Amino acid sequence: MSLNNLENHKSHIEEYGFAVINNVFSQKELEDINLVLRNIDTSKENFRKSEDLFAIRQFLKEVPKIKDLVLNDNIQKVVRKIFGEKYFVVKSIYFDKPETSNWYVAYHQDLTISVDKKLELANFGPWTTKQNQFAVQPPLAVLENIYTIRIHLDDTDENNGALKVVPKSHAKGIYRPETIDWTIETEEICNVEKGGIMIMKPLTLHGSNRTTNGKKRRVIHIEFSDMELPEVLQWSERMN
């Protein structure tokens, strides 16, 4: 892992909204993660299963054995050096796009955070509630402060749903996908090797294509912040 280049990665994220770092997890670490994943009880209500996608929300809480494996020394170093000393986990999701998946995701920004309750709060909204989990769009400053790490458990390229991003779109506030002007914007495909990570700002416009090469794609998505929410609102998945 190019841990010596973390300063370069940090400035690349600040300018473009994303970066890819390979070799963050060793073969042994990946095997340990895969072992835990193979033994998950998939019947829980936080698990979403269809032919195109298997997803576990609140992943680090639902599968506690995975936490120390996923937040390994390299990830902790990335968080401290690129994000900041006081960053903590605020959301985690496991995605498994099977080999036959037709799942594709249109361009969007990640505009909501997971919180512990719903209440009337200035500049927070709209709200959504799924399975007793509360998500809300917070003020822009909160979104601008978040970093997302996507840990890739499989080699991922444009043929099995690698993320497409619009570089620098993270610096343009709320950016409606239908207003993208492709005469001025560019698209970049983020290929990531197995055991590598993609770091992204949630406001970076991103999407993914359908799988065409018959290869599965499994990703662990973890969001980090160092901000406290106002009044009595808490991050629902906060983990130091």
pLDDT 10s digits, 25-44: 999 999 999 999 988 877 77
Rounded CA separation 12/19 (Å): 6
The verdict on domain 3-225 having CATH code 3.40.50.300 is no
**Residue 87, C-beta contacts closer than 8 angstroms, at least 6 positions apart:** 79, 80, 147, 224, 225, 226
Q: In the predicted model, is pLDDT for residue 1 greater than 70?
A: no
pTM of the model: 0.95
Q: In the predicted model, is pLDDT for residue 80 greater than 60?
A: yes
What is the distance of C-alpha 148 from the center of its chain? 5
Rounded CA separation 97/161 (Å): 8
Q: What is the pLDDT of residues 171-187, one digit of tens each?
A: 999 999 999 999 999 99
Q: Quote the tokens at residue 235.
A: 């991050």
Q: In the predicted model, is pLDDT for residue 141 greater than 80?
A: yes
Residue-range domain boundaries for the chain: 3-225
